[in-house]
Amino acid sequence: MTAVLTVSCIFPSYGTKTDVDAARESKSNLENEKKEIEKTIEKLEVLKSDTASYVNQLDAELNSLNKQVTALNSRVAAKEAEIEEAEAELAASKEDERRQYESMKLRIQYMYEKGETSYLDLLFKSADLTQLFNRAEYISQIAAYDRKMLDQYEAASEEVAAREADLKAEHEELVTLKTNTEEKQKDAERLMNEKTAELKSYNSKIAASEGSLSDLEKDIAAQEDKIKAIEAELKRKEEEAKKAALEAGQKYNTVSIGNINFIWPCPASSRITSSFGDRESPTEGASSSHQGIDIGASTGSSILAAASGTVTISTYSYSAGNYIMINHGGGVSTVYMHCSELLVSAGQEVTQGQVIAKVGSTGYSTGPHLHFGIRVNGSYVNPINYVSP
């Protein structure tokens, strides 16, 4: 009878299909992170562009306000010069008015002190009637001239005073307009400083994200190299196994899952809420081809290692949430998804029945449960064929 040579007899614990799966999963996670960072950069670029446009708008507004303030300063200075000129003119007019008043006052005082005699003498000493009328007319003209000049000086002073008042009112309006414009200028400068700081922050965030993106691309490339190296090693080992089997006259088989006895991974529940195979997607993002079984259980229920092995993955992904993969050798591995808490780390050796995690609802999930899967040489098989509650 031909003997059966299993992979577990030939392959060491490194360079297995599970390692390839782990590397691919790691690469997938890195690519998801890369997409998220690319989305972040895209959003930051939009914000940066909008802010840069606003900064340009503020810059134009500031230039306009600066020109307005400069023009208003010139107008205020010109108006102040006009006011000074009007004040000087008013002072001169008041002085003319005062002098005219003093002149009239002296003449009136003279008339009062001399009485009317001087004027009568002046009239009666006239040689004839014509001279008398001429002298009387002269005296009348002097009095009328004094009154007229005083009235003119008073009117001129009033006109200059009114013009000065108008100039001061205009000056006050200009100063108010200048103050308001300067307030707008300060507001625009404050906004400009804020938006310039935002722009600088966006540039820094974009630079940091691009640096992270570059690191991720290197990590992805490293995972690709790792996958290629493991696959090459697997191919080499498989060829060696085939050759050894043929030389020994034995039948070659790539797997023997029958050598591993699994236990039920969730002792708190035996309720299967979703079976292996095709199904209707229970939530957005979840697969319609179910690569395992879902065991409904309360959050925090213990999850056990179905068999002894080495933890190859203990991490978080968008779809699986917190999850663990255990390599049992011979191309066989088990996965435990949607955990609320992970209790073991990658590289750690675990024994069958050891509590490795707690039931949860992380990732694409509609409620607390354990997604349990079995992989054989990278392909999922129906766990019910190998384990039962």
Q: Give the burial class of 295: count Cβ atoms within 10 A of its Cβ; 0-12 exposed, 13-18 middle, 19 or more buried.
A: buried
Same domain, 269 and 301: yes
The contacts of residue 171 (CB under 8 Å, 6+ apart) are 76, 79, 80, 83
Encode pLDDT of 256-294 as tens digits: 465 688 999 999 999 999 898 765 655 544 445 688 999
Domain boundary among 216, 239, 254: 254
Both structure tokens of 151? 């009235």
**Count of structural domains, the chain:** 2
The contacts of residue 79 (CB under 8 Å, 6+ apart) are 167, 170, 171, 174
Same domain, 223 and 269: no
Domain boundary among 254, 289, 308: 254
Domain boundary among 254, 274, 306: 254
Instruction: Specify the pTM.
Output: 0.43
Q: CA-to-CA distance for 44 and 304, rounded, in angstroms?
A: 44
Q: Please, which pLDDT band fits residue 252 given cuts at 50, 70 and 90?
A: very low
Angular region, 15: left φ>0, alpha ψ -120 to 50, beta rest: left
For residue 117, what is the domain's CATH number? Answer: 1.10.287
For residue 331, what is the domain's CATH number? Answer: 2.70.70.10
**Containing domain of residue 20, as a range?**
1-254
Lowest mean pLDDT among 143-157, 226-240, 262-276, 314-328: 143-157
* Residue ranges in the chain assigned as alpha helix (H): 7-10, 17-114, 117-124, 129-247
Please give the DSSP secondary-structure letter assigned to residue 336.
E
Same domain, 9 and 152: yes
Lowest mean pLDDT among 67-81, 106-120, 323-337: 106-120
Please give the radius of gyration of the chain, using alpha carbons only, rounded to the nearest integer. Answer: 52
Question: Are β-strands 341-342 and 251-252 bridged in parallel, bridged antiparallel, or unpaired?
Answer: unpaired
Encode pLDDT of 125-176 as tens digits: 555 555 555 555 656 666 676 667 667 767 767 776 787 788 788 878 888 8
The contacts of residue 153 (CB under 8 Å, 6+ apart) are 93, 96, 97, 100
Q: CA-to-CA distance for 7 and 383, rounded, in angstroms?
A: 20
Same domain, 49 and 106: yes
Same domain, 230 and 272: no
Same domain, 167 and 201: yes
